[in-house]
Amino acid sequence: MRVMLRRLASSSVAICAALVLGTGVAQAQPADGAAPVEGNTTGPYCSTLVGKAAVGEVSPVLHRTCSDVSADKADAQLLQWRAQYRSSAWLAPQADAVVVMHWYEHAHFGGRHDRIWGDGGPCDSAGYTLDPTTFWPWNYDWSRNLSSAFGQSYCSKAEFINLAKNDKLVAYGMDQHGIADLGSFNDNVGLIRTSRG
């Protein structure tokens, strides 16, 4: 009986160790293209963390969380997740995450709000390429609901490409005054390239 209990105990330890190691591997994968980790995805105030991407690629969504209370609460939850993720995955220190864009449901910066955080720091000439369709299937399809936007952290230029990917709108001064009305691109955004420019 003692031998059987010892075998059971050692098997349990091996299974637990495998589960813990397996979980650690899964957590280290969002930056490499695996499915992002979701936080609370309900509420009108959201924060989304995106990573840097290779030229011609879309910035991966690493994490998204929303709040019914405020944008600041959603930000706090997102930054807490980022700190835990980076320490649990043993990732090297990286630039601070910064807000690179604000997306709004209505013209003139009203309605639902999503702060887009760049995990690789402020915009440079490469910037971030954002695909609003990848922010779905959470609780909101930004590709069909984006009406105004604002840039931040040197993200002064934005190219809005329509859903059909056959027309684009280029906006400058995004970090100074944003674009209060996307006009024909209202509720029709398939891709956004934001950069310093």
- Residue 96, pLDDT score: 85
Spatial distance between the Cα atoms of 10 and 67, rounded to a whole number of angstroms: 43
Spatial distance between the Cα atoms of 150 and 111, rounded to a whole number of angstroms: 14
19 with 66, same domain: the answer is no
- Residue 34, pLDDT score: 40
Spatial distance between the Cα atoms of 138 and 116, rounded to a whole number of angstroms: 15
Average pLDDT along the chain, 197 residues, taken 10 residues at a time = 37 34 31 48 85 91 90 92 77 78 96 93 94 70 94 97 96 96 96 95
Structure tokens at 188: 């029709």
76 with 171, same domain: the answer is yes
24 with 97, same domain: the answer is no
75 with 2, same domain: the answer is no
- Per the CB < 8 A criterion, the answer to whether 130 and 52 are in contact is no
Q: Which domain holds residue 5?
A: 1-35
149 with 62, same domain: the answer is yes
- Residue 89, pLDDT score: 62
- Residue 109, pLDDT score: 97
Work out how many domains the chain is built from and give that number: 2
107 with 169, same domain: the answer is yes
29 with 42, same domain: the answer is no
DSSP character string of the chain: -HHHHHHHHHHHHHHHHHHHHHHHHHHT-GGGTSPPEE----SSEEEEEE----TTSPPPEEEEEEESS-HHHHHHHHHHHHHHHHHHTTPPP-PPPEEEEEEEEETTTEEEEEEEEETT-S--SS-EEE-GGGGTTSS--GGGT--EEEE-TT--EEEEE-TTSS-EEEEE-TTTT-BS--GGGTT--SEEEEE--
- Residue 39, pLDDT score: 60
18 with 90, same domain: the answer is no
Q: The pTM is what?
A: 0.76
17 with 102, same domain: the answer is no
- Residue 1, pLDDT score: 40
